[in-house]
Chains A and B, each alone.
Chain A
């Protein structure tokens, strides 16, 4: 199993540009989520999904869109990037027999100039 994969690892955007952060998992997990982590801070939940076709907002959803057309993929779209969205983004998934164990991807480091 590859677990949770994220692409790209690094990205630099200019203010106003849009982009999609990709997240995929091969564990057939129902639950997937996106977090952001700013320097010296804990993780904050952006959006989450409890299954294909179902998404909901987390703590800091503004400026981000998500969709869940398949169980495996959960992309995060930045509509119009702002410097305040400079952060490290983590995707996570959980489900199956170990529902209490959440698996995290390696993260995407995003800089918005």
Chain B
């Protein structure tokens, strides 16, 4: 399985944009890039996913490099509630595809 590399932690200020990087140099052509986050004492929740093009939804934006070897999750305006562990995961689409979680990146948000 292709692996992802994320920094261990990152800090941001409230109401400022946050860019969370993820490297995945061994990504295959069929791998989707998924992002999940886990708030303290909760189960993970889906944030966004993409294949080749940049993606936007109500929670975040996903910027994917042209060679697909890296991606960046963008939170446009961090709030205290965004403090969480963010996981970048590669997985092909399909009924049997599995999500393999690494340690993720811990985002702290300063008031």
Contacts and interface: CB of A to CB of B under 8 A. Distances in A.
Contacts, number: 48
Given A35-B101, A42-B101, A45-B100, A104 B44 contact: yes
Chain B interface mostly = loop
Nearest to A56: B96
A72 interface: no
Interface residues of B, number: 20
Contacts of B36: 102
A31 interface: yes
A100 B49 contact: yes
A50 B101 contact: no
Given A101-B46, A106-B43, A42 B87 contact: yes
Interface of A: 4, 30-31, 33, 35, 40-45, 48, 50, 56, 58-59, 90, 92, 99-107
10 closest residue pairs by CB, A with B: A104-B43, A42-B101, A43-B101, A101-B46, A90-B43, A100-B49, A50-B95, A42-B103, A42-B102, A104-B44
Interface of B: 32, 34, 36, 42-46, 49, 87, 93, 95-96, 98-104
